[in-house]
Amino acid sequence: MDDYQTCPKCKTTKYRNPAMVLMVNACGHALCESCVELLFAKGSGACPECKCPLRRNNFRVQLFEDPAVDKEVDIRKRILKEFNKRQEDFPTLREYNDYLEEVETIIFNLVFDIDPTNTNKMIDNYKKENKEITQKNRNRQSQEEMELEELLENEKAQQSEKASLYVNAELEEKKQKHKAREKLIDELMFSDADAKSIVASHVQATAALAKEQPKAAAQAGSTVVKSSKFSSGIQIGLRGQHTNSFLPIPKQEDLPLYRYTAPVFDYDGPPPPTIEMLGKLNYFANIRAANVTERAGGYTEAMSCCRALQEAMGGLFYSPQSTHKTAVVNTIHSTQDTDDMETT
């Protein structure tokens, strides 16, 4: 679809010029980068489609196939910078939901150019009335972003430190193995002891070294893992030092452990035979054998035969309760038919 993107002014397509870059302004209409440069060569310009006055610094690279989406994203960012109230700023949840609906209505009106004059007046009035709380929430948001960036940097530092410790541990293990190999060769060449005893002692030393290596790696990892931060980047106790916005974790009551109970199938008829019984009675001789593909999927002829017998016996209604109910229903129907005949 990128090949069919066209500049509305010079009619150049992405197919003809793969290096073409479309740019979007506040009005939501796109122009290629060359047309933007020519448009502002004299210092000012207007949109060739809606004749809206444009500014050079308002142009940005088009990210989506539909320029209207870029327009909505830009408007949403601009509006949410001012309408940044949170749920704790409202006494009830209903008022907070009404506020969110009002924000979405403003964004919708600006995106589709519905009564822009009154919408902009509404935005200006909101800025004047909520200037302090807007600035407060903006500072709080910037502080949270800084804290999150710091936590992410600390986590990256921990990960790099942990990786370097593992690399050093592997290098040390290789050095120990190389030294042990050289020591074995020297002992075999220059020692007067029996070769079998030398090799046996070397094997024991190697086994002891192999047992010590996981312990050393675990200790190296524990020195990094043991910290005051979660793996997600949230530091333990950091929020409590600054704000008390988080509620305590609710305590859950101890529930009983799950116990499996075998399902009870009410066929409303005689119990069907099991697969083992059908195999002993040679029922499968009359069923088409499953091929290799069906067996790979878990299907066997035993399942087909057992399912057919279950469905056949499930509709016989041989149980005493069902028979009693059926007899009562038949008696009622026969009585009603007799009364109808007498009336006729």
Provide the CATH number for the domain formed by 1-62 in this structure: 3.30.40.10
- For the chain, what are the domain ranges? 1-62, 158-210, 270-315
Give backbone dihedrals phi and psi of 315, rounded to 5 degrees, phi first.
-110, 15
Nearest to 265 by CA among 274, 257, 256: 274
The amino acid that residue 71 corresponds to is K
Nearest to 306 by CA among 260, 267, 268: 267
Q: Tell me, rounded to whole angstroms, the distance of Cα 34 from its chain centroid.
A: 41
Q: Answer yes or no: pTM beyond 0.85.
A: no
- List of residues 6+ apart from 11 with CB closer than 8 A: none
Measured CA distances, 148 to 113, 142, 223, 225, 237 (Å): 37, 10, 23, 19, 14
- pLDDT, tens digit only, all 344 positions of the chain: 454 678 888 888 888 888 888 888 878 888 888 888 888 876 677 887 888 888 777 788 887 777 788 888 888 988 988 888 888 888 999 999 999 999 999 999 988 888 888 998 999 999 888 888 888 888 887 777 777 778 888 888 888 888 888 888 888 888 888 888 888 888 878 777 777 888 888 888 888 877 776 665 555 555 544 445 544 445 544 444 444 455 666 666 667 788 888 888 777 777 788 888 888 888 888 888 888 888 888 888 888 888 888 888 877 765 555 444 444 444 444 444 444 444 43
pLDDT of residue 224: 46
According to the model, what pLDDT value does residue 106 have?
A: 92
Quick one: pLDDT at residue 101?
93
Q: How far apart are CA 160 and CA 223, in angstroms?
A: 13
- pLDDT value for 218: 57
Name the residue among 141, 138, 82 with its Cα closest to residue 110: 82
Token pair of 301, please?
A: 């002829």
Who's near 66: CB < 8 A, 6+ residues apart?
A: none
Cα 51-53-54 angle, rounded to 5 deg = 115
Check if the beta carbon of residue 151 is closer than 8 Å to that of residue 235.
Answer: yes
